[in-house]
């Protein structure tokens, strides 16, 4: 159900509040440039520092702005199962096409706890769900065997895999077959994942280069790996620059340098350091995104 280049869209701020004008313009640009879906309130959207009211509003605003032109997969994860259920229920009521659910962070559940967490959400809300595994952020790694168990639940249809291990990703692909769409959670690994059978990415780089991200994934999906490889290598310096500091600091800074929004972040995230900002600016310039 979920495939292609799905942008993990930033949440622009102005004077401490969500800048809905900038967000609306970013959404329009993403759709015009060919992104296949919009993912608000994920890691890149600074969901960790959005209030619950802001979180709900960003999802509602995004759904309204997109107006069914592409799928909206709302970030609704939490380290509290009850809170994740509530956020997912709201996303369904607001009209989201699906929900992205990060593995519970900080409290480090067991594999059985992870299974029960997602099973409870699926039982509570009838909405297509995308699992999100990123142990570098959460301190818990959802193992392929657990993913395979969850893939038997009909509304669990996809996973954003950010473990960083091609071996683990391939094991997920082999265990789950056609029951689960596997998407990259790491732009540098999108092409190798698709070569193994992945179906796209929830992408950070698509924030600044949506047309190229979509074209790379489309080429790989068609089996044109020569073209996809060329595009991967062109995008890779930009991808690397977007992770010079903790995401989403560089990508929001990049969009500000491109004139798409302000560079306001919420503590504990802070402005890029001068040296890394200079490297980012150079990468954007070399890519033709700024002059």
Q: How far apart are CA 15 and CA 60, in angstroms?
A: 21
Check 132, 222, 252, 260 and give the catalytic one. 132
CA distances from 65 to 62, 124, 161 (A): 5, 27, 27
For the chain, helix, strand, coil in percent to 5 are 50, 15, 35
Check 3, 160, 252, 277 and give the catalytic one. 160
Which residue from 201, 206, 176 is spatially nearest to 190, judged by alpha carbons?
A: 201
Q: Are 233 and 206 in contact (CB under 8 A)?
A: no
DSSP string, 90-156: HHHHHT-SEEEEEPPPSS---HHHHHHHHHHHHHH--S-EEEEE-HHHHS----HHHHHHHTTSTTE
The tokens of 198 are what? 């992945």
Element spanning 14, H or E: strand 13-14
132 annotated active-site = yes
Q: How far apart are CA 239 and CA 241, in angstroms?
A: 5
160 annotated active-site = yes
DSSP string, 175-191: HHGGGSEEEESSGGGHH
Catalytic residues: 132, 160
């Amino acid at each position: 159900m979920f495939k292609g280049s799905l942008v993990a869209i930033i949440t622009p701020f102005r004077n401490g509040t969500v800048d809905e004008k900038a967000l609306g313009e970013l959404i329009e640009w993403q759709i015009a440039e060919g992104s296949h879906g919009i993912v608000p309130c994920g890691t890149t959207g600074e969901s960790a520092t959005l209030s619950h009211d802001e979180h709900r509003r960003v999802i509602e605003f995004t759904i309204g702005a997109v107006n069914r032109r592409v799928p909206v997969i709302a970030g609704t994860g939490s380290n509290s199962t009850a809170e994740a259920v509530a956020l997912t229920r709201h996303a369904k009521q607001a009209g989201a096409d699906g929900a992205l659910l990060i593995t519970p962070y900080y409290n480090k559940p067991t594999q059985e706890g992870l299974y029960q967490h997602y099973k409870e959400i699926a039982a509570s809300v009838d909405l297509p769900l995308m699992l999100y595994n990123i142990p570098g952020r959460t301190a818990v790694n959802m193992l392929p065997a657990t993913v395979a168990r969850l893939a038997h639940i009909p509304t669990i249809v996809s996973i954003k895999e950010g473990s960083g291990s091609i071996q683990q990703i391939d094991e997920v692909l082999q265990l789950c077959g056609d029951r689960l769409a596997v998407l990259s959670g790491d732009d540098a690994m999108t092409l190798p994942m698709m070569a193994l059978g992945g179906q796209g990415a929830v992408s950070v780089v698509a924030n600044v280069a949506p047309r190229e991200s979509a074209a790379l994934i489309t080429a790989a999906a068609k089996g044109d790996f020569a073209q996809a490889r060329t595009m991967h290598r062109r995008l890779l310096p930009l991808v690397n620059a977007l992770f010079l500091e903790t995401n989403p600091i560089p990508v929001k800074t990049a969009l500000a340098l491109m004139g798409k929004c302000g560079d306001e972040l919420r503590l504990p995230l802070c402005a890029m350091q001068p040296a890394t900002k200079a490297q980012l600016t150079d990468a954007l310039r070399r890519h033709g995104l700024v002059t």
